[in-house]
Amino acid sequence: MKKIRMICYTVFLAVLVAYVSLTAIKQNNLANSIDINSMASSLVIQKEDKGIQAEDMVPTTLNIAPATIQKTFQEMYDDMTIAQREEALYAGTLHMEYSALYTYSWDRLSVAKGALYFNGHKETYYSEKVLPGNSLNIPGRHVADDGTIRDGDGYICVAADGAYMPKGSILITSLGPAKVYDSGCAYGIIDIYVSW
């Protein structure tokens, strides 16, 4: 009876340790994906009791199915360098968000900043409230949560000099992935279309 209680106690402790560890990992977002099975399957807990000899000790192994902790788009995007974002954008592995904010970074264009140097270009903005841009061919045009004008694929709509970036070019701006839909800017300037 004492051995059965010890085994139950050991199993309970093993499950508790595994649960606390998983909870801590999820809360701290320690990894993009973690193979919990490789960690937990080797977890062996032994309890010594004064009345039990060493040869009577029963090791208990805890088996937990593998689990994957996935990052949100925002976490994935923020963890990437600009070069990695561009590479993923061209490879088609960086999936667009229809309306969600792409970055919470303080280093982003805003009404207060007015202009910003980012990724080798100067960014400015123009508002649809001033320049409606009704003649622009923007399929799925809408105002995203951050006030940017986006197309149906989630690209922020921008303007650029045709010699600098022709229409249809895609790039990373301080506000997120963008596509050139208009021209009329000076060379090296990206004008971001917003509803501010």
| 178 and 190 Cβ atoms separated by less than 8 Å | yes
Give residue 90's pLDDT band: very low, low, confident or very high (50, 70, 90).
Answer: confident
Mean pLDDT of 6-16: 58
Q: What average pLDDT is seen over the chain?
A: 74
Is residue 53's pLDDT more than 90? no
Domain locations along the chain: 2-61, 73-194
Report how far residue 29's alpha carbon sits from residue 189's, in angstroms, rounded to the nearest whole number: 37
On the question of pLDDT at 60 being above 50, the answer is: no
CB-CB neighbours of 193 under 10 Å: 24
Looking at per-residue pLDDT, the higher value among 141 and 20 belongs to: 141
CB 156 within 8 A of CB 192: yes
Residue 36 has pLDDT above 50, yes or no: no
Confidence of residue 42 (pLDDT cuts 50, 70, 90): very low
Q: pLDDT tens digit string along 61-77?
A: 445 444 555 556 667 77
Predicted TM-score of the model (pTM): 0.59
Confidence of residue 23 (pLDDT cuts 50, 70, 90): low
